[in-house]
Structure 1
Amino acid sequence: MAGRDGQALPARTGTSRVPDRVGPVLFSRGGDGRADALRALVVRPTGEAPPTLVTEAGTVSPEIVTDAFGRTVHAYDFSLNSGVTGTYECDGVGRSVRSPAIADIRIAYVSCNGQEEGDLDRGLDERDAIWQRLADENAAAPFALLLQGGDQLYADDVLHCHPTVERWAAMPKTERGAVELTPEVAEALRRFYFERYLVTYSRPAFASLAASVPSIMMWDDHDIVDGWGSHPPEMLDSPVGRAMFAAAREMFLVFQMAVSPGETSPNGFDATGANLGTAVRYPGLSVISPDLRSERRLERVMGESGWRVLETAFATTPPQDRILMMSSVPALGPRLSWAEFVADVLPGSSEYEDDLRDQWQSRTHRAEWRRFLSLLAGWQESGKGALTVLSGEIHLATRGEMTLKGGGTMHQLVASGIAHPAPHPGYPKVLGLLARFGESPLKGRSIRIRPVPGYATTYAAERNYLVLERRDGRWSAAWELERFGRTRSLAI
């Protein structure tokens, strides 16, 4: 925000105070069957000594990831033995970490951690009720990984971080290039994202989970601003727009990938940093997370850098690995061409065009969608192993199935709205109507959208999270819905 003199003030945080201390937040770096690599992120006031982190191997020395706005972000690299529950101690507090290399494991998947307006004005009991349910479940039966599939941060309030940004946001999108970027505006943008991460990561339910369950994260539009990439180039390439993306990207690297702003994604698939897609591996398991935002434009979802990263991730996946593919935007969905036609011709509906173009199923992205689906389906059809798509973004719970050549099914599991309120009842009804018609973008491979087990409608309009389990080598999934509770397990 800014005062009457036009000077930037600390980011809007609702009723939440911006904390000086955050963490530890654990991040997965994969494992080779002997050791699981981890990185712990800790924030402390600048000048204060970082806490001591100790494992069975001894004391771990931290490195500085970044220093900004009176706070220093420290990172600790360490490993724990694979195939067992390990322990570490940070600042005198001991914590247990369950290895993903254990035969029987549980994995949680979440997305959409917030809402577009007034996110931090909500009370903890209301906003974080489903986070608390997830934290309680972890305390009773620990998870090995926490997969966060997009919109970990609802950063839409960035449009109020400075008067110049507010003026920019109020202008027609095609005219925003006329607004000058000053160093003060650029710094206000950086401060906003930095402080919003501190507030989000300090919330008790998330903090308790993140300290003992390693995360793998990939961003989506709200981690930048609503609809990023599906707006006209005059907005995206304006000086303020470029600075907004640069600030969001810098803090995404720090707080969601746990690397210094000058680095790129941890697996090094793209040295240029144009695309931040990742692949994290354990014996028999690969979690692949394409970056669907860094290169997104009106006419594309990913650029050639993104496609090289994704295709390299598949090419280097060991045969017979189970792939969990985190597609922040659902890969299997209903036909949207009719909805886009209505948005084109119906007065007053143009505001929905950005939302529709955000989807893989948009007519604009149809050729690229086929390329994406061909890559995913080809993994199973070639006999290399099974693949399950995990998606969020739509603030609903549902699932999809693609029938594959030669038999078999590729499953998509959508869990969206760990903190986002349930949408208007008309929204899932419209999607459910579209889903009845099915879709077949790839010849011989039909797509059907189906309800989660035991639910009456195709789309469940409740806050939710997903639980994946591997028992005796077999995988299953179940949804935890705010009102309905736990669904039956679905074999995948």
Structure 2
Amino acid sequence: MEAPGGLRAGNTVFEATLLAEPAGISVWRYDFQLGPDDDGYEFEGRFHPVNTDVTGDMRIAFVSCNGEEEGDLERDGAERNAMWARLAAQHEAAPFALMLQGGDQIYADEVTRGHPLSDDWPDRVPRDASASEIEELRHYLRERFVRRYLEVMGAAEYAGLAASVPSLSVWDDHDICDGWGSLKDNRTNSAVGRALFQSAREMYLLFQHAATEADIPDLFMDQQGASLGWWRSLPGLTIIAPDLRSERTRHRVMGEAGWHGLRQVRPVEGQVMLVSSVPLLGPRLSLVEMLMMAIPRMQHYEDDLRDQWQSRAHRAEWREMLREVLKLRQAGPLTVISGEIHLATRAEMGVGEEHIHQLVASGISHRAPPKGYAKGLGWLAGLGEGPLPDRQIRILPLPGQRQRYVAERNFLVLERQGGAWQAVWHLEESGPTPPLPISD
């Protein structure tokens, strides 16, 4: 394929670099920089404004869960992307400097269907597939991932926003398959499971980071890429995103590479934001796990609970992560930002110099679960949870709300004004919440 035309930023024209050619398409990348005095770039005759001033007041958008498990590509576009349209309107009114994507940017659960080796994944996995059959499966999966990324990212409500707002993303299970890492080991470690993970990883790097294996040392904390966690620093702001999927098993959330990378982070002075694709502060789930395992027809949901930090299988590791977060808190105010649960909520832990906020915004396009589910989870949160001594976790209602969990599609806007940060949830039915100060 002939290379696309140049991209103009300032007085310089940048040429494209061919990254890969998966599934019969060519993926090109432009490497360019915009400084604080630049107001955007021009490509194919269209100018795309970009807010490049991150030294003072600034706005950040946070989204997660962009899709659904079944029939996502067949949904009505206006319904599916309604909250993306609202986010784009927010950007038009007051431009964002950055968009954080907290996981499940696509729902790839259906990519395995239609191939004899993976059609029944994860319920049945063939054990006798040949190397050539696995290679053919990998080619099939890559094609399916490419189609899904192109359709999801090609939606007008998303594409226009993405062209003007720099984005940083971390993946979660649906970017691979439902429950990746919490499924049984003989599934994820099988030849089919490894082909699925490798295909998902390649496409995640390509479509969410515009990267290939060669770029890993420049982008991620682990130079070898066993973990794809990253951190970035801006004036007065450090953003940290550990990878909670690449090394996950039923018995751990992160592996050696992920832990080593996290412990090397040195925040700049100012606000710290830690993106945890799975909420770090949550209710006591061990009681629910015990109940589900006692009821045969409920055991199907055990993997969903094992996905959480609060699972009894991860309790020791959860405590270790909380201790690491408290160390990071010493650098300045720290806020954990999470998605994944298709609800909006918030939490706090500690007081004074150990006080931590958690903001959960989940479901930019995934339809909300029943409101009764949110009420039940709120009741469970009322039981309290304290994995570390004298540091009780408190699940709290959003500003202006009465219930601890809100069952509406939503996104989050983080804004710095005069050096102080605040957060506003935008709820599909209820509208924007009153601002919540988080610079403490």
- The residue that corresponds to 2:110 in the other structure is 157
Q: 2:301 aligns with which of 352, 355, 376?
A: 352
Q: Does 1:433 align with 2:379?
A: yes
Q: 1:178 to 1:336 in 2, by over 3 A?
A: farther
- Could you report, residue by residue, the CA deviation over 1:421-473 in whole angstroms, capped at 9, with x for unpaired residues? 01122321221011001211111211100111101211000000000000000
The structure 2 residue matched to 1:249, chosen from 201, 223, 229, is 201
Instruction: Give 5+ residue unaligned stretches, structure 2.
Output: none
Q: Distance in 2 between matches of 1:168 and 1:385?
A: 45
Please tell me whether the aligned partners of residues 227 and 247 of structure 2 are also in contact (alpha carbons under 8 angstroms).
yes
Counterpart amino acid of 1:446?
A: Q
Shift of the alpha carbon at 1:241? 0.5
Cα drift, residue 257 of structure 1: 1.5
Alignment partners' CA distance in 2, 1:207 and 1:417? 18
Name the structure 2 match of 1:317: 267
Secondary structure (helix, strand or coil) at the match of 1:374 reads: helix
Q: 1:240 to 1:262 in 2, by over 3 A?
A: farther
Unaligned runs of 5+ in 1: 1-46
Match of 1:215 in 2: 167
Partner of 1:94: 47
- The corresponding residue for 1:374 is 323
Contact in 1 for aligned 2:220/2:231 (Cα 8 Å): no
Are 1:61 and 2:15 counterparts? yes
Residue 99 of structure 1 deviates from its aligned partner by 1.9
Judging changes above 3 Å, is the alpha-carbon distance between structure 1 residues 478 and 352 closer, same or farther for their aligned structure 2 residues? Answer: same
Question: What is aligned with 1:448?
Answer: 394
The two structures have a TM-score, normalised by structure 1, of 0.86
Residue 377 of structure 1 and its aligned partner are, at CA, apart by 1.7
1:43 alignment counterpart: none
Return the alpha-carbon distance in structure 2 between the equivalents of residues 337 and 94 of structure 1: 53
- Match of 1:269? 221
Secondary structure (helix, strand or coil) at the match of 1:465 reads strand
Query: Number of matched residues?
Result: 436
TM-score (norm 2): 0.96
- CA–CA separation in structure 2 for the residues paired with 1:133 and 1:325: 25
Secondary structure of the corresponding residue to residue 79 of structure 1: coil
Alpha-carbon separation, structure 2, partners of 1:454 and 1:178: 57
Counterpart among 327, 330, 339 of residue 288 in structure 2: 339
CA change 1:418–1:440 in 2 (3 A) is same
Indicate the residue corresponding to 2:332 in structure 1.
385
Contact 1:264 1:273 in 2 (8 A): yes
Q: Does 1:463 align with 2:409?
A: yes
Deviation at 1:408, TM superposition (A): 5.3
Q: Which residue of 2 aligns with 1:330?
A: 279
Q: Which residue of 2 aligns with 1:403?
A: 350
Change (3 A) 1:462 1:222: same
In structure 1, the residue matched to 2:58 is: 105
Preserved contact between residue 66 and residue 105 of structure 2 (Cα < 8 Å): yes
Q: Distance in 1 between matches of 2:210 and 2:32?
A: 13
Q: Within 2, Cα distance between the matches of 1:425 and 1:265?
A: 44
Amino acid at match of 1:90: F
Instruction: Tell me how far 1:347 sits from its aligned partner.
Output: 2.2
One-letter amino acid of the counterpart of residue 312, structure 2? R
The structure-2 alpha-carbon separation of the partners of 1:94 and 1:135, relative to structure 1 and needing over 3 Å to count, comes to: same
Deviation at 1:407, TM superposition (A): 4.8
Which whole-Å deviations, capped at 9, do the CAs of 1:76-129 have from their partners, x for residues lacking one?
Answer: 1111113x5621111111111112523111100000000000001111110000
Assess, with a 3 A threshold, how the Cα gap between structure 1 residues 177 and 432 changes in structure 2: closer, same or farther. farther
Determine the structure 2 residue equivalent to 1:50. Answer: 4
Task: Give distance in 2, aligned partners of 1:410 and 1:170.
Answer: 40
Amino acid at match of 2:6: T
SS in 2 for 1:372: helix
Classify the secondary structure of the residue corresponding to 1:125: helix
Alpha-carbon offset, residue 260 of structure 1: 1.5
Aligned equivalents of 1:267, 1:472: Cα separation in 2:
30
How far does residue 267 in structure 1 lie from its aligned partner after superposition? 3.0
What corresponds to 2:242 in structure 1?
Answer: 290
The question of whether the paired residues in 2 share the 8 Å contact of 1:99 and 1:144 is answered with yes
Aligned 8 A contact 2:173 2:245 in 1: yes
C-alpha change, 1:176 and 1:345, in structure 2 (3 Å) is farther
Listed one character per residue, the Cα deviations across residues 9-49 of structure 1 (whole Å, up to 9, x for unaligned) are xxxxxxxxxxxxxxxxxxxxxxxxxxxxxxxxxxxxxx133
Q: Deviations over 1:306-334 (max 9, x none)?
A: 10111112xx322x231111100000000
Report the alpha carbon displacement of residue 262 of structure 1 after superposing the two structures with TM: 4.5
Displacement after TM superposition at 1:186 (Å):
1.5
Residue identity over aligned pairs, in percent, reads 49
Looking at structure 2, the residues matched to 462 and 190 of structure 1 have their Cα atoms a distance apart, in angstroms, of 33
